[in-house]
A and B are shown apart, each in its own frame.
Chain A
């Protein structure tokens, strides 16, 4: 199976930049999506196909993917960005696994 590794937690001050990584072998050759999940709510897609934003998602959310690491970047962090974030890949051999998740805390 294809394992995606994320840091368990990231802490960031308001107005600063949060960087969340998703590591896996040759992940740069796959499509990566990112989801935000707040407590008691369903996940929301925030980045698809490595770096595209669905309508309604602020420009502060951006993504990149190369080599063995995909990255979600949240600029000018706000209190409302506090949530769990998950990466996901489209992999023909192992389905669509999710990363282990990263809890973002706004200080």
Chain B
């Protein structure tokens, strides 16, 4: 059974940093692109970043470029999101999601971890 379990969320002050983790199991992690998607309270989904199977390519939404870094450890079957210079508008539930084979959509999602940026 495919499982994605996020952790690392919490309350942080504006300008602070946080590192999210996503533990993957039930599939060959190193075969798939992986993504982070966020959802602000009461708002819609926003794609944040993704990373290639071997970590050699990654892409970001404009609003987080230069502040967030996506990475992965295939040996530990884990995905990460390092978030620096956090802003109030980064407050959201952050989901880890697997990219289906051949760009067939995000076929498995974790339950999300809440990040609150507030003073």
Instruction: Report which A residues bind B (CB closer than 8 A).
Output: 1, 31, 33, 35, 37, 42-45, 47-49, 52, 54, 84, 86, 88, 90, 95-101
Contacts and interface: CB of A to CB of B under 8 A. Distances in A.
* Residue among B37, B60, B111 with the highest chain A CB neighbour number at 10 A: B37
Interface in B25-84: 35, 37, 44-47, 49-50, 59-62
Given A42-B111, A48-B105, A49-B104, 16 more contacts: A42-B109, A43-B45, A45-B105, A45-B106, A47-B105, A48-B107, A49-B105, A52-B104, A86-B44, A86-B45, A95-B47, A95-B50, A96-B35, A98-B44, A98-B45, A99-B44
B103 A45 contact: no
A107 to B, nearest CB: 23
Interface residues of B, number: 23
B45 A35 contact: yes
A17 B58 CA distance: 39
Given A42-B110, A96-B47, A101-B45, A33 B105 contact: yes
Contacts of A84: 44
Given A42-B111, A42-B112, A96 B50 contact: yes
B24 to A, nearest CB: 15
11 contacts: A1-B62, A33-B105, A35-B106, A42-B112, A43-B37, A45-B107, A48-B107, A84-B44, A86-B45, A88-B105, A97-B47
A37 B104 contact: no
Contacts of B100: 45, 48
Nearest to A46: B105
